[in-house]
């Protein structure tokens, strides 16, 4: 990842002495160097891409919810482009054919037997602790203001820790504390807070998948698991497992609400 | 207005539906009957090349075909009012109870730019009458039909041409869809009672992710049963989707050359709040209005007296939905229906119903005039009878992981009548659900609520007291 930062470093080349000094600086702490080279917003853009913010990607999603009130599961097939996605539930049979469409941050829900798609808000629950908005790619770089960015180690991995505040009222969470791996530039942990500054939800992320990597481009890490724990009921755990991701062209008609009922 | 009651199930589209249904089910059966590789050991084995070709064909079909559906079994208990509108249940002839089994498979096929779907339906029901034209007792009925089917081709990228029988609905509202020129019922009051499909030819153009242009015409009434003559209607719909908001413009022209203009718009005001509106405008109204007529045996006739009027008739809906952090969603909608009856017209309307109801059964010509007037008054051609309505809804899905609850209340602000619609579903595992769907009207002395007018003279209570569906769904 640091290779991408080199052009910026060269731009600030102060000559050989400077280079030696700079390399010494790097050897003392790559974390500080990358922090210097990448702005907070650029780091968030990298982290957003690994959460699905890509030009055309298809994957399967398995959600398991284990709560005091019982266990539940959903399997979905998802087609996404940027922040738009179409999610079709495939299992269990009672939800087969249920669809969730998000276009330009407008969301609709449809299912067999329902005559037309129903507009829904991102807060509406999908299953367990997962809201419909949790399927969507994140856009923290634009939806949130960075109040602070610090560095700390999480599980032995150096991280940037962002204190994010909603830039507008239309986002799912008002405030987020977000840990981004300094090595991979992917979000690995998040804490979600209410308007009253009360923490109500925690999430951890894994990135075992890689996308792309052809035509001279570096492979792009892609989310493989998201574990959501409700703070007020720590036994309530919802796990989202992302599998079989592949990049492909997804036409605009996929996200057309007029065709949703007949998809 | 009569849809809240389950009909007997017979209709005059059964023959066509049966033909299409047989063809579609035969196709589906043939598709499913194609043997897997290694199966069918008792049949004469084709050559290995033929077997491989069959396997390839089967795999090709399976990859492009999706079949799922449900089997329902349910009982319906309902009670029609035997007032002036429906004397002794002789006009509507609504059964008192129904027991039914339905199979609702949905099949779809997708290959390259071609998509097709078919929704054949089979229903067997036993109905019990304790009043009306049908003799008291049970009567059985079996029906087989295709409720929806369509074929769609993406002629060029972003341009879709389709033909078929569809339930074409749009708009964000729960209560009704003012801009939908084709369907009065949006299917929301009873999600277990499928809206009958209508035949459409449609062209949909998607020039970008933000814009869609649709041109559509209904070519036949399909499974719909029109109380009046079928009206061919042309419509153009332009949709725009922006950041957290959307809007649509709809213009439609009916067979009587009457134009309707309107649209809907909505926005995600916050992560929990949705706001929306839907408006339809037309000049004049083809509906029937009660006008005084000394020549009529009832003193009032129902006539399309406003058909040629140049006055604008807006139908406006405004609504919002708010999702609480704990899960439930609260919905409120207000409707202003300018074409509806005002107090004076409502008085005349119920007066003519009372008079016709009293004369019903008398020898002709008065008896015949009474029957005709009562039939007319069942559907005077209005989306809603009066002018002001308020709908409130509480919705809690996935409650304790097993329960979906929707409680809907619709107030007729003008006459004080109320319709309650509870919709409760309970999951029995991954494949089975139990449900209760109801419609209870309130308007006079029920539960202490009191209408400003006599119950038989209110919109929601003039036809029925209640209708409750209780049943099980098995998904496959």
* Interface contact B401, partner A, CB < 8 A: yes
How far apart, in whole angstroms, are the C-alpha atoms of residue A80 and residue A225?
17
* Interface contact A233, partner B, CB < 8 A: no
Burial of B177 (0-12, 13-18, 19+ CB in 10 A): buried
Residue B434 lies in a domain: yes
Q: pLDDT tens-digit profile of A98-112? A: 999 999 889 999 988
Residue B159 lies in a domain: yes
Q: Closest chain B residue to A170 measured between Cα atoms?
A: B270
Q: Does B450 have pLDDT greater than 80?
A: no
* Interface contact B171, partner A, CB < 8 A: yes
Q: Which of A64, A251, A66, B288 is nearest to A76 (CA)?
A: A64
- Chain A residue numbers with beta carbons less than 8 Å from the beta carbon of B174 are 118
Query: Of A124-133, B23-32, B60-69, where does the model show the most confidence?
Result: B60-69
Helix (H) or strand (E) holding B163: strand B159-166
Backbone angles phi, psi at B336, to 5 degrees: -115, 125
Identify whether A48 is preceded by a cis peptide bond (ω within 30 of 0): no
Instruction: Give the residue from B182, B209, B427, B432 with the most A CB atoms within 10 Å of its CB, the best one to mutate.
Output: B209
- Chain A residue numbers with beta carbons less than 8 Å from the beta carbon of B427 are 94
Residue B7 lies in a domain: no
Residue B4 lies in a domain: no
What DSSP string runs through A215-226?
A: TTPPPEEE--EE
Instruction: Give the residue from A170, A194, A231 with the most B CB atoms within 10 Å of its CB, the best one to mutate.
Output: A170
- Chain A residue numbers with beta carbons less than 8 Å from the beta carbon of B271 are 121-123, 133, 169-173
How far apart, in whole angstroms, are the C-alpha atoms of residue A189 and residue B399?
28
Residue B399 lies in a domain: yes
Residue with tokens 């087989």: B144
Which has more pLDDT, B77 or B186? B77
Q: Which of A106, A116, A258 sits opposite B268 (nearest CB)?
A: A106
How far apart, in whole angstroms, are the C-alpha atoms of residue B202 and residue B199?
10
Query: What percent of chain A is predicted at pLDDT more than 90?
Result: 40
CATH code assigned at B123 = 2.40.160.10
Lowest mean pLDDT, pick from B10-14, B179-183, B206-210: B10-14
pLDDT confidence of residue B34: 44
Across the interface, whether the CB atoms of A115 and B167 are under 8 A apart is answered yes
Among B residues 178-207, those touching chain A with beta carbons less than 8 Å apart: 186-188, 191-192, 194-195, 204, 206
How far apart, in whole angstroms, are the C-alpha atoms of residue A59 and residue A49?
15
* Interface contact A120, partner B, CB < 8 A: yes
Identify whether A92 is preceded by a cis peptide bond (ω within 30 of 0): yes
Q: Closest chain A residue to B208 measured between Cα atoms?
A: A252
Across the interface, whether the CB atoms of B212 and A258 are under 8 A apart is answered yes
Pairing of strands A106-110, A220-222: unpaired
Residue B73 lies in a domain: yes
How far apart, in whole angstroms, are the C-alpha atoms of residue A115 and residue B324?
25
Range of the domain at B395: 14-31+47-475
The total number of structural domains that make up chain B: 1
Q: pLDDT tens-digit profile of A7-20? A: 333 444 445 545 54
For Cα atoms B341, B343, B348, give the angle at the middle one, nearest 5 degrees. Answer: 75
Q: Does B446 have pLDDT greater than 80?
A: no
Residue B41 lies in a domain: no
pLDDT confidence of residue B193: 92
Cα dist from B447 to A81, B83, B444, whole Å? 53, 20, 9
**ipTM above 0.85?**
no
* Torsion angle (degrees, nearest 10) of CA B458, B464, B466, B472: -130
User: What would you measure as the largest C-alpha separation in chain A, in angstroms?
Assistant: 72
Which has more pLDDT, A46 or B3? A46
Residues sharing a CB contact under 8 Å with residue B308, sequence separation 6 or more, in sequence order:
B284
Task: Domains for chain A: give ranges and CATH numbers.
Answer: 40-259 (2.50.20.10)
* Interface contact A259, partner B, CB < 8 A: yes
**What SS3 class is residue B85?**
coil
Residue B188 lies in a domain: yes
């Amino acid at each position: 990842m640091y290779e991408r930062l080199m052009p910026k470093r060269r731009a600030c080349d102060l000559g050989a002495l400077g280079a030696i000094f700079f390399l010494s600086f790097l050897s003392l702490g790559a974390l500080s160097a990358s922090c210097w080279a990448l702005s907070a917003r650029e780091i968030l853009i990298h982290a957003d891409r690994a959460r699905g913010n890509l030009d055309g990607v298809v994957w399967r999603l398995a959600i398991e919810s284990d709560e005091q009130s019982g266990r539940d599961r959903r399997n979905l097939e998802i087609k996404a482009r940027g922040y738009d996605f179409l999610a079709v539930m495939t299992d269990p049979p009672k939800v087969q054919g249920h669809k969730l469409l998000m276009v330009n941050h407008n969301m609709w829900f449809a299912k067999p037997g329902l005559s037309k798609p129903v507009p829904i808000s991102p807060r509406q629950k999908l299953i367990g602790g997962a809201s419909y908005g949790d399927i969507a790619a994140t856009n923290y770089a634009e939806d949130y203001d960075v109040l602070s960015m610090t560095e700390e180690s999480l599980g032995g991995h150096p991280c940037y820790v962002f204190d994010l505040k909603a830039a507008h009222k239309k986002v799912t969470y008002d405030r987020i504390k977000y840990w981004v791996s300094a090595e991979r530039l992917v979000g690995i942990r998040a804490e979600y807070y209410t308007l009253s500054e009360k923490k109500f939800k925690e999430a951890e992320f894994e990135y075992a998948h890689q996308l792309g990597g052809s035509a001279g481009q570096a492979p792009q890490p892609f989310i493989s698991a998201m574990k959501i724990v409700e703070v007020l009921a720590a036994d309530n755990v919802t796990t989202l497992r992302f599998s079989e991701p592949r990049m492909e062209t997804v036409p605009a008609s996929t996200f057309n609400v007029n065709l949703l009922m007949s998809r | 207005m009569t849809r809240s009651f389950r009909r007997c199930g017979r209709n005059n589209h059964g023959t066509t539906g049966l033909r299409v249904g047989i063809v579609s089910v035969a196709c589906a059966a043939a598709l499913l009957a194609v043997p897997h590789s290694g199966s069918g050991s008792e049949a004469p084995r084709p050559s290995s090349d033929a077997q491989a070709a069959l396997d390839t064909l089967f795999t090709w079909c399976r990859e492009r075909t999706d079949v799922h559906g449900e089997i329902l079994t349910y009982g319906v208990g309902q009670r029609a009012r035997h007032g002036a509108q429906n004397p002794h249940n002789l006009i509507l002839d609504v059964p008192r109870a129904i027991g039914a089994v339905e199979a609702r498979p949905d099949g779809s096929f997708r290959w390259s730019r071609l998509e097709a779907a078919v929704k054949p339906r089979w229903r067997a029901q036993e109905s019990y009458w304790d009043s009306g034209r049908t003799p008291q007792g049970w009567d059985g009925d079996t029906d087989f039909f295709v409720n929806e089917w369509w074929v769609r081709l993406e002629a060029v990228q972003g341009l879709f041409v389709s033909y078929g029988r569809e339930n074409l609905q749009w708009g964000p509202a729960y209560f009704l869809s003012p801009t939908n020129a084709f369907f009065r019922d949006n299917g929301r009051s009873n999600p277990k009672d499928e809206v009958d499909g209508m035949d459409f030819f449609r062209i949909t153009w998607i020039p970008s992710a933000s814009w869609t242009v649709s041109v559509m015409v209904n070519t036949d009434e399909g499974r719909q049963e029109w109380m009046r003559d079928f009206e061919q209607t042309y419509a153009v719909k332009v949709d725009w989707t922006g950041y957290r908001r959307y809007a649509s413009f709809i213009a439609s022209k009916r067979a009587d050359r009457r134009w309707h203009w309107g649209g809907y718009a909505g926005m995600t005001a916050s992560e929990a709040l949705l706001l929306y509106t839907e408006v339809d405008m037309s000049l004049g109204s083809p509906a029937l209005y009660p006008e005084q007529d000394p020549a009529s045996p009832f003193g009032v006739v129902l006539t399309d007296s406003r058909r040629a009027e140049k006055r604008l008739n807006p139908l406006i809906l405004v609504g919002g939905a708010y999702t609480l952090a704990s899960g439930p969603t609260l919905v409120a909608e207000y409707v202003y229906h300018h074409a509806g009856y005002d107090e004076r017209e409502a008085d005349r309307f119920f007066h003519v119903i009372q008079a016709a109801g009293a004369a019903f059964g008398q020898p002709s010509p008065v008896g015949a005039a009474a029957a005709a007037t009562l039939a007319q008054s069942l559907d005077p051609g209005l989306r809603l009878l009066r002018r002001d309505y308020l709908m409130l809804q509480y919705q809690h899905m996935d409650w304790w992981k097993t329960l979906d609850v929707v409680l809907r209340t619709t107030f007729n602000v003008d006459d004080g009548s109320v319709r309650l619609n509870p919709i409760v579903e309970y999951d029995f595992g991954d494949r089975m659900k139990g449900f209760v769907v109801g419609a209870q009207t309130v308007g006079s002395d029920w539960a202490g609520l009191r209408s400003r007018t006599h119950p038989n003279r209110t919109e929601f209570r003039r036809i029925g007291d209640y209708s409750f569906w209780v049943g099980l769904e098995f998904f496959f």
